[in-house]
Chains A and B, each alone.
Chain A
Amino acid sequence: MKFYKKYILGITLLGVLSTSCDSEWLDREPPNILVDDQVWNDTKLVTGVLSNYYDRLPAHTSLTGGWVDFAAYDEAMWSGYSGNDWLNNLVTYDYGRWGLWDYGLIRDINLAIDKLNTLSTLPAEQRTQFISELRFIRAWVYFDHVKRMGGVPLITEELIYDFGGDPSYLQYPRNTEAEVYDFVISEMEDIAGTLGNAGSKTRANRFTALAVVSRAALYAGSLAKYNSAMSAPISLPGGEVGIPAARAAAYFTKALAASETILKEGGYALYRSNPNLGENFYEAVISKNGNSEVIWAQDFLLSADKRHGFTYDNVARSAREDNLGSSAITPGLNLVEEFQYLDGTPGILKTRTADGSDYLYYEKVSDLFANKDARMYGTIIYPGASFRGQEIFMQAGVAVWNGSTYDLVESNGLATEYSDGGVLTSAAGPHRSIQEVSNTGFYLRKYVDNAVGSSTRGIRSEVWWVRFRLGEIYLNAAEAAFELGQNGLALTYVNALRERAGFGTNSLSDLDITDIRHERRVELAFEDHVVWDYKRWRIAHEKWSGNPNNPESMIYSLYPYRVVRPGDERDGKYVFVKSVAPRFRAPRFFQMANYYSLIGQNIIDANPKIVRNPFH
């Protein structure tokens, strides 16, 4: 017993001694999180916060977020995994499509600005730079809100609840659509001088801010003009939706001024490194090697394991390196025919004789696409075009002469042989029903990586997502100038872009708004513009009218067939058949209620001051 007592005493003593030796036991730096003082006083950590916010920027269609929706409009359809065929069967666009209400991100940004102002002891200049960049991100997020929702509440500081039981002082009504655009533009103009980051293509600098002004002011100006020009403008009594027509000119002036500053002072230039104009246009978007055209991009890097599967999902079937995937987004014939011939004539592909009595016969499948706008090659892989140095040959079947007409024979597989020993259906299709092979007769080239291995799931791609490039700034300047009546100036900018596409100097001698819209469609396809452009011009409901007889609401395909007519000079040549793409079912249908997205009932329940959008 005595023995034990000694030990108990000893252990107790030990316990008493050990607690007394560390008086700050409960007052230590946490080992697993960073506290405010640490974060906001360390430039590296603040940069880390910024990079998190850049990564959370909303996007409707980009390489990582929402890219399948490239196949939901009139540029392309879905030819990939058949479980995603709903993209071809969209009976209507949901009212909540394009909806965005990301006040979580806005709050985080407001908090960061607040803490840099109050807690940080970094040099004033450094803090101003960080705050400018945060304000840039915040204004960009508001721009993304206003183009989808109309006016939203502008919250620029942290909202704190006092637990008094009445949250109504935290409930802000929606600002007007014009106020939000004004906020975006004035913020950008305000911070342009203090953003720093000169020369960066991934962090915002002065010219990135001006590029946002160029786009946002153009959107606001055309909303003011074209909404008011509707037989019944879409508006709300409080102006949450609808910008007065009188403001159009001021917005267009701002857009033109910002665009011209970028063009003259930015040091950017249209990409012209490759003498092959088609490849040049492709590289203008995806090349990271001394690209003089890209202004702001979301970058990816293999070595940092920041990469994406866009190439795996969208590479042409016969060029795929994985055993699955490929061919998801396939451009339609509609878009292909938008690309003009180099002599300036409309791009309708010539598949039939002038009187429609017979096919036109082509020696090679690619001959049909000769002498077209180089941007077609740079955007789309058409039958016979090359990708990664290999020809993407496409043939849907054979056209067998039966004495009076042709029987079109197709295969139920790919890479099959016809009884005459020649190709029946090629390895790249197109095919009517098989998944993961083109259903339209075309594949996507823009943003699909030509690096070896990039279409495997193991390696994937590091192609960047371009948010702004100089090509768009040229078009913004042209459109703003045209809307201000400066046709000559608009012509200069449009012709500069067309020259890069192979049209020669001064290919247009006169232009109207349809020329500018057409130019945007072919230059900026698959760069997340078509929806927003159609919305701001108020033509989306006419383009996508839900009527199967409206060719603009449908997706068309072009199937090449090899002629089997032994003994005839036409034997072995190719003919082409245009039709509605077989896997495409429902015409695109954009209703008036789609111009502004649905504000969720949960948001209205929490804040009764929020008014609903028109037709909702």
Chain B
Amino acid sequence: MKLISFKPILILLLGLLAASCEFDNFEAPKSTLSGRIVYNGETLGLRSTGVQVELWQRGYDLFQKIPVYVDQDGSFSAVLFDGDYKMTLIRGNGPWLDKTDSIDVQVRGSKMLDVEVSPYYHITNSSVSRSGNNLNVTFTVNGVNTSRALEFAAIYMGRTIITDAVRNEGRHLLTAQNITLGTPVTVQIPIPASLAGRQEVFVRIGAKTVGVPELIYTQSEAY
């Protein structure tokens, strides 16, 4: 009889102990991984959320990627748990040669990472000036890897810093025949009526590679 009366006390004690445990036994991740997509040390301009890098972590039951979208200025960031990750770039996703080797990423606290890629084409020496309702645009398209042909270059004009091939208020297309690689191109283009009255027009120059959905851009700047 003595033994039996002992048991409820044990159960009560167990209950008390369990109740004192924390409600959520995982802490939210705190470490930050941030980085840029670079070529020769220069951050590449891209379309906002157009390019995705993948993070994978082995050793856990659920093997799913952590998708990390790249901003229009070529930077990305993710809040993660400390650990060892593998970063992969999706084939055919960005305007660069497929990079099939994964990158080891060790996240301890905060981590900066530059992802070096080898683009098909690269735009340099761009300059834009505004004269009245026209824009004078000069730029050079350089072939870095010409295994895929250049489809076109285009000048995109928009109201916000997020201006690209998809979101724009006006564009001027230069087909590949009008462009000599490595030689500056100068064009004068009219500003579309919807933008002409604005103080600032955001301008970006993009180059499209055949068969790659995403373009490579210059950084978005206001003129």
A residues at B contact (CB < 8 Å): 230-233, 541, 545-549, 589, 591-593, 601-602, 605, 614-616
Contact = CB atoms under 8 A, between A and B. Distances in A.
Contact of B211 (A232, A545, A547, A605): A232
Contacts of A592: 92, 213
B63 A601 contact: yes
Nearest to B165: A547
10 contacts: A230-B211, A231-B151, A231-B211, A232-B212, A549-B168, A589-B166, A593-B213, A601-B65, A614-B92, A615-B91
A547 B171 CA distance: 11
Interface string B131-169: 000000000000000001001000000000000011111
A231 B210 contact: yes
B90 interface: yes
A547 B167 contact: yes
A602 B213 CA distance: 27
Contacts of A602: 64
Given A547-B166, A549-B169, A591 B213 contact: yes
A615 B213 contact: yes
A545 B166 contact: yes
A601 B64 contact: yes
Nearest to B210: A231
Say what secondary structure dominates the interface of chain A.
Answer: loop
A549 B213 CA distance: 19
Interface centre among A232, A545, A592 (most CB of B within 10 A): A232
Given A546-B167, A547-B168, A605-B63, 16 more contacts: A231-B211, A232-B148, A232-B210, A232-B212, A541-B213, A545-B166, A547-B165, A547-B166, A547-B167, A591-B213, A592-B92, A601-B63, A601-B65, A614-B91, A615-B90, A615-B213
Interface in B54-83: 63-65
Contacts of A233: 211
A429 to B, nearest CB: 29
A131 B212 CA distance: 46
Contacts of A231: 151, 210-211
A591 B50 CA distance: 10
Nearest to B65: A601
Nearest to A605: B63
A602 B63 CA distance: 8
B213 A616 contact: no
Contacts of A541: 213
Contacts of B65: 601
Interface in B107-131: none
Residue among B165, B166, B212 with most chain A CB within 10 A: B166
Contacts of A545: 166
Nearest to B169: A549
Nearest to B148: A232
B201 to A, nearest CB: 16
A577 to B, nearest CB: 20
Contacts of B211: 230-233
A547 B64 CA distance: 32
**Which label, helix, strand, loop or mixed, suits the secondary structure of the B interface?**
loop
Given A601-B63, A615-B90, A615-B92, A546 B148 contact: no
A591 B165 CA distance: 12
Contact of A615 (B64, B93, B165, B166): B93
User: 8 closest Cβ contacts across the A-B interface?
Assistant: A232-B211, A592-B213, A546-B166, A231-B210, A601-B64, A615-B92, A232-B210, A605-B63
Interface string B152-193: 000000000000011111000000000000000000000000
A601 B62 CA distance: 10
Nearest to B192: A549
A591 B210 CA distance: 15
Contacts of A616: 90
Contacts of A548: 167
A615 B214 CA distance: 11
A238 to B, nearest CB: 14
A357 to B, nearest CB: 19
Nearest to B168: A547
Contacts of B166: 545-547, 589
- Most A CB contacts (10 A, CB to CB) among B65, B92, B148, B151 go to B92
A602 B61 CA distance: 11
A601 B55 CA distance: 13
B118 to A, nearest CB: 18
A409 B63 CA distance: 58
A233 B166 CA distance: 21
A548 B211 CA distance: 23
B161 to A, nearest CB: 17
Contacts of A615: 90-93, 213
Contacts of A614: 91-92
Interface string B203-221: 0000000111100000000
Nearest to A602: B64
Chain B CB within 10 A, most for which of A233, A541, A614, A615: A615
A547 to B, nearest CB: 6
A94 to B, nearest CB: 12
A591 B91 CA distance: 15
Contacts of B151: 231
A548 B166 CA distance: 8
A595 to B, nearest CB: 10
A418 to B, nearest CB: 34
Contacts of B210: 231-232
A89 to B, nearest CB: 15
Nearest to A550: B166
Contacts of B92: 592, 614-615
Interface centre among A231, A541, A548 (most CB of B within 10 A): A231
Contacts of B212: 232
Contacts of A232: 148, 210-212
Contacts of B165: 547
B50 to A, nearest CB: 8
A593 B51 CA distance: 12
Nearest to A236: B91
B186 to A, nearest CB: 26
A589 B148 CA distance: 25
B212 to A, nearest CB: 7
A541 B212 CA distance: 13
A540 to B, nearest CB: 12
B164 to A, nearest CB: 10
Nearest to B64: A601
Contacts of A593: 93, 213
A614 B213 CA distance: 11
A601 to B, nearest CB: 5
B44 to A, nearest CB: 18
A585 to B, nearest CB: 13
A545 B93 CA distance: 17
B194 to A, nearest CB: 9
A536 to B, nearest CB: 19
B51 to A, nearest CB: 11
A600 B91 CA distance: 17
